[in-house]
C-alpha cells in the first residue's frame, strides 16, 4: 500500500470500529469501496463458504481499494472450526414428537423418526445421562437417557422436524475434537499466504486450542479467539492471555446458554479483554432484520448501542453485509448508532464503569497519564509512535477522550490497528530522534485533521526509537500554523 496521501484517507470521528463480512452481494471492488466510505474499518472473510479462488479475488479487491483510498484496512479470515452434524434421513427429514425417544447411533443407514447416525465417534465416549444435545441451533432439544458405546438414547424435550446434516451443539461437555480441522489447516495456510491481518479461531474450548493455532501461524498475523462455547468461559483468562484479540460470537453461545445468560456474559468478556489491553469484537445478529429490511428493529438498535456503551473495540455485521439486501444501509445505520452513543453526555462515564488498573510498567503508567491529561486539558489528539502496536493498544485500553493518531512504519501494524478502539493508523517512515518525532507528529496531526494552529497534542513514544516495548516518553506540544510548510510531504 502506498504511504498515505494527505488528499486521500478516511478519518472517522467515532471511536468504535465496524467489522463487516463480505459475501456474494458485497465482494466486488465497487461495493467494498462503498462500504468503506459508509463506515467499515475492517472486513471479515468467512472461510466456511466459498473456494480459495473466490476468497483470493475478494482479498485482492480489498487491497486495491485500500490503496486507492489511502486508509489501512484490516482483513480477518474466519476459520469454520469443527462442525458436529447428524447424518441423513430416508426421506430427507423426519418428525420427532415431543417426549418421544430418539437414538443417535453409528449406523450409516438413513434415519427416520426413531434414530439417525451421529458420524462423530468421539462423542459416544463422553456423553452422560442428563446432558443435552441441541439440534438445528436449538430448535430441537434432546436429553440423554442412556449413553452406550454405539448408541445414545435420548428423549425429545422439544421435538419437531429434523432434516439431513443439521448441526448439533453439546453445551454440557467439553467436546474432544480439535479446534482446527483439516479444512481449517488448509484455510489457515491460505489466509497467511494471502496476507490476512487477523485469523478468527472458531469454537475455542480450551487454551490449548489457541496455542495450537499460534504454532501453525508461525508468528504471522494476529489471532482472534471466538468465544462461542460455554466451556471456554471456565478458562477465559488463559484464552485471553494466549490470544491477540477476542470475539464475543453470540450465535452458538446463545444456542448453548440460556438467553438471559448471554448479556451479562458479554459484558464480562468485554471487561476482561479490555483489561488485558486487547481488541474485543461483539458479533452476530446485531442488525439481523436488515438482511431483508432497510431499517433495523428498535431492539437491534439498542443491542448495538449497548456494545458501544460497554466499550467494545468493534461491532460486526455478518449476513447483513454478506448476503443481505441492504449492505450499505446496514453499515450506515450502525455508524449512526455508534456516533450518537459516543456523543451522549453519559458515554464517557459508562465506558469507564469497567476498571482497567494499569500494570506496574512505565508504558502503562504513561498510557494512563495520557488519558488523565486528555481529561484535564483540551487535547486535540494523542500521537503514538509505534512499531509493534503495543503502545497503541495500551493507550486504547484507557479509552481516552482524545482521538489517537497512530504513526507506524509497519504496514502490518497499521492494518491490525484498524480494529483498535479510537485509533487512526497512518503508515509513515520511521523516526530517529526526539526532534524528528515532534516535527513529524505535528505535521501528521495537521495533515490528518488532528487539531489546528494553537491545538495541544500529546506525543507518546519509546527511546531508543525502533525498540519494541520501550515506551518511556510523553510530551505535550502545541501546533503552529506553518508546521506543514516546514517539510515537503514526500519526506514522510
Active site residues: 44, 85, 226, 284
Name the residue with cell 417426549.
Answer: 99
3-state secondary structure at position 404: strand
Cell matching residue 86? 447428524
483 and 442 Cβ atoms separated by less than 8 Å: yes
φ, ψ (nearest 5 deg) of residue 460: -130, 130
Q: Residue 373: enclosing H or E segment and its boundaries?
A: helix 362-376
Q: How far is CA 436 from CA 78, 393, 462, 488, 491, in A?
A: 40, 23, 13, 14, 11
For residues 149 and 105, give the distance between their C-alpha atoms in angstroms, rounded to a whole number: 9
For residues 208 and 215, give the distance between their C-alpha atoms in angstroms, rounded to a whole number: 10
110 and 119 Cβ atoms separated by less than 8 Å: no
Q: How far apart are the first and last CA of the chain?
A: 15
φ, ψ (nearest 5 deg) of residue 138: 85, 5
3-state secondary structure at position 21: strand
Closest CA to 230 of 170, 177, 278: 170
Closest CA to 253 of 282, 273, 288: 282
Pairing, β 132-135 against β 168-169:
antiparallel
Pairing, β 74-78 against β 42-46:
parallel
3-state secondary structure at position 234: coil
Outline where 2-92 has alpha helix (H). Answer: 29-38, 52-69
Q: How many CB atoms lie within 10 A of CB 225?
A: 29
Report the C-alpha dihedral over residues 90, 93, 95, 99, rounded to 10 degrees. Answer: 90
Cα three-residue angle 44-46-49, rounded to 5 degrees: 155
φ, ψ (nearest 5 deg) of residue 109: -65, 145
Cα three-residue angle 295-300-304, rounded to 5 degrees: 110
Amino acid at each position: 500500500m502506498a504511504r498515505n496521501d494527505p488528499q486521500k484517507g478516511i478519518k472517522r470521528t467515532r471511536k468504535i470500529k465496524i467489522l463487516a463480512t463480505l459475501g456474494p452481494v458485497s465482494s466486488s471492488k465497487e461495493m467494498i469501496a462503498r462500504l468503506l466510505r459508509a463506515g467499515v474499518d475492517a472486513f471479515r472473510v468467512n472461510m466456511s463458504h466459498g473456494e480459495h479462488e473466490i476468497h483470493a479475488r475478494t482479498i485482492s479487491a480489498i487491497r486495491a481499494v485500500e490503496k486507492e483510498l489511502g486508509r489501512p484496512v484490516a482483513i480477518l479470515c474466519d476459520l469454520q472450526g469443527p462442525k458436529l452434524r447428524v447424518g441423513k434421513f430416508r426421506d430427507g427429514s423426519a418428525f420427532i414428537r415431543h417426549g418421544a425417544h430418539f437414538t443417535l447411533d453409528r449406523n450409516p443407514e438413513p434415519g427416520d423418526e426413531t434414530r439417525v447416525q451421529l458420524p462423530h465417534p468421539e462423542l459416544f465416549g463422553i456423553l452422560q445421562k442428563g446432558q443435552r444435545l441441541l439440534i438445528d441451533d436449538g430448535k430441537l432439544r434432546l436429553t440423554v437417557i442412556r449413553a452406550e458405546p454405539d448408541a445414545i438414547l435420548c428423549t425429545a424435550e422439544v421435538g419437531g422436524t429434523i432434516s439431513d446434516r443439521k448441526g448439533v451443539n453439546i453445551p454440557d461437555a467439553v467436546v474432544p475434537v480439535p479446534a482446527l480441522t483439516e479444512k481449517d489447516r488448509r484455510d489457515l495456510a491460505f489466509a497467511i499466504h494471502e496476507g490476512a491481518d487477523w485469523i478468527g479461531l472458531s469454537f475455542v474450548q480450551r487454551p490449548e486450542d489457541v496455542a495450537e493455532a499460534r504454532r501453525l501461524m508461525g508468528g504471522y498475523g494476529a489471532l482472534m479467539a471466538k468465544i462461542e462455547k460455554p466451556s471456554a468461559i471456565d478458562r477465559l483468562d488463559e484464552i485471553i492471555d494466549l490470544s491477540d484479540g477476542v470475539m464475543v460470537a453470540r450465535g452458538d453461545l446463545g444456542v448453548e446458554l440460556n438467553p438471559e445468560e448471554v448479556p451479562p456474559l458479554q459484558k464480562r468478556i468485554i471487561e476482561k479483554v479490555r483489561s488485558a489491553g486487547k481488541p474485543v469484537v461483539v458479533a452476530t445478529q446485531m442488525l439481523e432484520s436488515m438482511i431483508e429490511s432497510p431499517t433495523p428493529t428498535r431492539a437491534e438498535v439498542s443491542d448495538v448501542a449497548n456494545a458501544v456503551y460497554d466499550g467494545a473495540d468493534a461491532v460486526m455485521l455478518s449476513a447483513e453485509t454478506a448476503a443481505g439486501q441492504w449492505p450499505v444501509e446496514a453499515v450506515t445505520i450502525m455508524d449512526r448508532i455508534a456516533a450518537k452513543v459516543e456523543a451522549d453526555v453519559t458515554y464517557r462515564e459508562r465506558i469507564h464503569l469497567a476498571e482497567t488498573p494499569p500494570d506496574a510498567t512505565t508504558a502503562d503508567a504513561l498510557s494512563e497519564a495520557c488519558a488523565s491529561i486528555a481529561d484535564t486539558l483540551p487535547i486535540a489528539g494523542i500521537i503514538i509512535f509505534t512499531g509493534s502496536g503495543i503502545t497503541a493498544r495500551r493507550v486504547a485500553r484507557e479509552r481516552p477522550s482524545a482521538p489517537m493518531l497512530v504513526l507506524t512504519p509497519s504496514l502490518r501494524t497499521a492494518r491490525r490497528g484498524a480494529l483498535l478502539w479510537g485509533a487512526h493508523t497512518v503508515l509513515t517512515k520511521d523516526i530517529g530522534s526526539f526532534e524528528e518525532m515532534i516535527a513529524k507528529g505535528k505535521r501528521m496531526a495537521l495533515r490528518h485533521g488532528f487539531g489546528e494552529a494553537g491545538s495541544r497534542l500529546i506525543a507518546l513514544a519509546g527511546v531508543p526509537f525502533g525498540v519494541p516495548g520501550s515506551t518511556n516518553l510523553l510530551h505535550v506540544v502545541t501546533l503552529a500554523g506553518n508546521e506543514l510548510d516546514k517539510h515537503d510531504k514526500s519526506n514522510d
